[in-house]
Each structure stands twice: as structure tokens, then as C-alpha cells.
Amino acid sequence: MFWIGLLAGAAIALAVNWLVRKGILTKWYEWLLAGLGILALFATGQHYFSSLRENEPQSAWMGALIFGIIALILLGVAWQLSVRRANKT
């Protein structure tokens, strides 16, 4: 768990650094959507590996599909909102 938190913190720090260097401003709701997307991504991995450990491969794949699609949608919306605002200016 420590390493996952460390990697997530480093990824967030790198993303913020990149946004500041590029001069891209983000709104609070874009951060909220991205945070929810990352949480759904972590839930995808946790559900997948715990279901495999319990010898339930069909549940693992279905959970990964459901949580993964939710994560991709949330992260895609957050990304598109920030990119469209950056292209307006």
C-alpha cells in the first residue's frame, strides 16, 4: 500500500509540475473528476486481483470491465475539459 501511495503522489506531483510549466489552468471540478477516476482505477486493480485470489476469474474480469470503463470515462472527461480550456486561450 505504501508503494502505491508513493507512486500516486509522484504521478500527481509530475502532473502538477507539467501543468504549471505549460501554463494550463485547471478548475476544481477537473481535479475532482480526475481524483474520482484515479480512485476507480485503483478499485479496478483491487477488485481484479482480490477476485483472482478467491478463484473467481469471471468476477475479476467483469469487475475490471465495469470499474475500468468508469475510470476511463471520468479521466477522459477531466482531460477533455482541461484541454478544451487550454485551446480556447
Q: What is the pLDDT of residues 12-48, one digit of tens each?
A: 899 889 888 988 788 899 999 999 999 999 899 999 9
Phi-psi category of residue 23: left, alpha or beta, with phi > 0 → left and psi -120 to 50 → alpha: left
Which of 47, 37, 34, 43 has the alpha carbon at shortest distance from 70?
A: 37
Q: What is the pLDDT of residues 39-71, one digit of tens each?
A: 999 899 999 999 999 999 999 999 999 999 999
Rounded to an integer, what distance in angstroms lies between the CA atom of residue 33 and that of residue 68?
15
**pTM score:** 0.80
Longest dimension (CA), the chain: 52
DSSP string across 17-68: HHHHHHT----HHHHHHHHHHHHHHHHHHHHHHHHHHTT-HHHHHHHHHHHH
